[in-house]
Amino acid sequence: MIKYLPQMTSVVLEEIPGKVSLAIDVSNCPMRCPGCHSPYLQTNIGEELTTDIIDELIADNFGVNCFLFFGEGQDDSTFLDLAWHIRDNHPTVEVALYSGRTEVPNTYWRVFNYIKVGPYIEKLGPLNHRTTNQRLYKVEGHKRVDITHLIWERGVDPNVKK
């Protein structure tokens, strides 16, 4: 079972470049990154995420062209089924994942259009810092294209001197 926090669901513009993303927080994160910005997501809280809920969320958020999972829980099979449901039933909506893993299973690269990998390491900073260890990839066919620089270019990172 995959659980999410309905009250934290929002439309975001900055996490996936050029996309209007419907972002949901998935609980039961196994990563336990020191300095995590959302440690409450390490617990198994929230409501069950189902295909019916996904369909309703997409229908209620006109103009969204990306469904972004912040986290993946600990039930890979159900998680992948939900992602495939979006791909199969909402062809105008791309699917994205922000994972704290260093590497995700190969099956993830077949269903997601965008994947952010890498645990949060406080001294290296978040994804929008040039010093980060995290990487955002766009999946193009069988290729993984690193588009992390597009996150950096949106604003000035105060920790980097030009």
> For residue 157, is it within any domain?
no
Residue 160 lies in a domain: no
Task: Say yes or no to pLDDT of 159 above 80.
Answer: no
- Return the pLDDT at 160: 45
Beta strands in the chain (DSSP E): 3-4, 10-12, 21-25, 47-48, 66-70, 94-98, 114-117, 135-140, 143-146
CB atoms within 10 A of CB 94: 21
The yes-or-no verdict on residue 126 having pLDDT over 80 is yes
Q: What is the mean pLDDT of the chain?
A: 92
Given a cut of 70, whether residue 3 has pLDDT beyond it is yes
The string of pLDDT tens digits covering residues 82-94 is 999 999 999 999 9
Number of domains in the chain: 1
Cα 68 from Cα 22, distance rounded (Å): 6
Residue 147 to residue 84: CA distance in whole angstroms:
23
Question: Do the beta carbons of residue 94 and residue 111 sit within 8 Å?
Answer: no
pLDDT score recorded for residue 38: 86
pLDDT of 162 > 60? The answer is: no
Which residues fall within 8 angstroms of residue 88, CB to CB, at 6 or more apart? Answer: none
Indicate whether 125 belongs to any domain: yes
Is residue 61 one of the residues assigned to a domain?
yes
Is the residue at 137 inside a domain? yes
SS3 (DSSP) at 160: coil
Q: Quick check: is 72 in a domain?
A: yes
Structural domain that includes position 133? 3-152
Q: Write down the pTM of the prediction.
A: 0.91
User: Alpha helices, DSSP H only, in 69-157?
Assistant: 76-89, 106-111, 148-152
In a domain, 68, yes or no: yes
How many C-beta atoms lie closer than 10 Å to residue 106's C-beta?
7
Give 161's pLDDT tier (boundaries 50, 70, 90).
very low
